[in-house]
Amino acid sequence: MITLFRGSNIKDIIIEMQIFVKYLLRFFFNHRKRVIYIIRYGLEDGRRKTEDGRPKTEDRKDKRQKSQDKSAMTVKHRAQGSGRRSQSAEHSLGIKVKAELLLSFYFCLLSFPILAYIYPSNHQTCRPMKRLNLILNLILSLSLSLSLSLSAQKLPTGNPVDFKVKTCLHSVSYMGIWRGQATLTVDEFLLKAKELGFDGVMLAAKKPHLSLIDYDDDARVKLRARIKELGLELVCIAGYTDFTAGVDKAGIPMTEIQAIYVGYERPDLPYDKQYAMVVDGLLMAGKIAAKYGVTLIIQNHHDIALHHDAMKWLLDEVNLPNVKAAFDCWSPTLEGLSKEEIKKAIYTMKPYLVHTTTADYKELPRFKYEHLQTNYVPQVSQMRAVPLGEGFLDYKTFIDTLKEIGYQGYIAYEMCEVLEGGGSIENLDKSAKKFLEYVKQFK
């Protein structure tokens, strides 16, 4: 759910323009009656047309006469001491104000490269507000407050020479979500990412990190400035939603409430009904996000459209230019795909692939004792996190294939499961450093 890519040298200008827009809008609302009057009536002179409908042109004589009339009117006003603006001056002000407002809104709505990273979870940060998606609200509002560059999200080029290792640290790695894991504030996490040597960060859009409840306009402006000060890129904002939540509760507009990610499959309900909710939700969220230049990316993590072929079909069906894919190695590995099949899957996702998140695991077998048979019944294995390159996931093949297709996105790292060695700051840092060391081989 939301990536900024390292880009243009004019990003400072854009940041200042956004601050300017904020205060311009405050001025507009404080003086809205006068501004609206000027915008409404200040351009009438420029709308005059000839009888055949074409704009009226003026010769030199007309312009000279108008200039004389304007001067006379100005002198008259001064003589009267009225203090009122002349009509022509008010028209001029109207043109200026309208131009400034349009320019400001244009800069507000530029295609800022925020990538809405759709991340899986059933847990909601806030109680849902009817017909309002809080996470999408956060993403879109942050798209105006946290934009740091103008470079667009780039798809794979097909040329390995264009591949570049760009590292990103997910804030879930220091969020206290699993037993014993240390918790850092957002600012402490940003400092940590900078200290470790990451290029960018991925912020979790829920407590205790980037929650909509805690980040108003001023807080987002300060966060944007802090990210810039540290020389980091905001690569992703991770939203935690579930499109199919409440599918069994008729009449509740869950798609509108949830809008963004694909859902978990609910038992005893038709699969295609749930799939349709996902399509509707992505269409809704994608069109809203497009108004703000935001790109939504779907991660292969939930039940619905998990397999790469189904995911490609889903994206083809949604068919929006700002809805892309975040394809990770973890899911296809657990699906049982071979090395060659995973490589083929990356090529399948190539038309949409703009982001990937890495994490490595060891599989711990589980069994249940059946005393009547005096035997053990195999259970679903338990996964435990280990540093990248020390588990069973084949990241050598995965990242080599990303390089083959000329992948342009970031390679993110997360520690979102119980980690070997525990959750102390020292152990988390040690694992993060091993990730940075591991990816150096692909540079």
- Cβ atoms of 325 and 298 closer than 8 Å: yes
Task: Give the structural domain span for 287.
Answer: 109-442
Residue 152 is assigned to a structural domain of this protein: yes
Based on the fold, state whether residues 74 and 138 are members of the same structural domain. Answer: no
Residue that wins the pLDDT comparison between 65 and 434: 434
Q: Which of 62, 78, 107 is the last residue of a domain?
A: 107
- CA separation for the pair 81, 79 (Å, rounded): 5
Residue 22 is assigned to a structural domain of this protein: no
Based on the fold, state whether residues 94 and 119 are members of the same structural domain. Answer: no
Residue 241 is assigned to a structural domain of this protein: yes
Which distant-in-sequence residues (6+ apart) come within 8 Å of 332 by Cβ?
300, 307, 308, 341, 342, 345
244-281 pLDDT tens trace: 766 666 565 555 555 444 555 666 778 888 888 889 88
Residue 16 is assigned to a structural domain of this protein: no
- On average, the pLDDT of the chain sits at 75
Binned at pLDDT 50, 70 and 90, residue 22 comes out as: low
Based on the fold, state whether residues 415 and 432 are members of the same structural domain. Answer: yes
Number of domains in the chain: 2
pLDDT at 62 over 50: yes
Provide the CATH number for the domain around residue 185. 3.20.20.150
Cα of first residue to Cα of last residue in the chain, in angstroms, is 26
- Can you give the three-state secondary structure of 188-225, one letter per residue? HHHHHHHHHCCCEEEEECCCCCCCCCCCCHHHHHHHHH
Q: Which of 89, 107, 125 is the last residue of a domain?
A: 107
Residue 13 is assigned to a structural domain of this protein: no
Residue 334 is assigned to a structural domain of this protein: yes
pTM of the model: 0.69
Based on the fold, state whether residues 269 and 414 are members of the same structural domain. Answer: yes
Q: Which of 90, 107, 124 is the last residue of a domain?
A: 107
Based on the fold, state whether residues 45 and 170 are members of the same structural domain. Answer: no
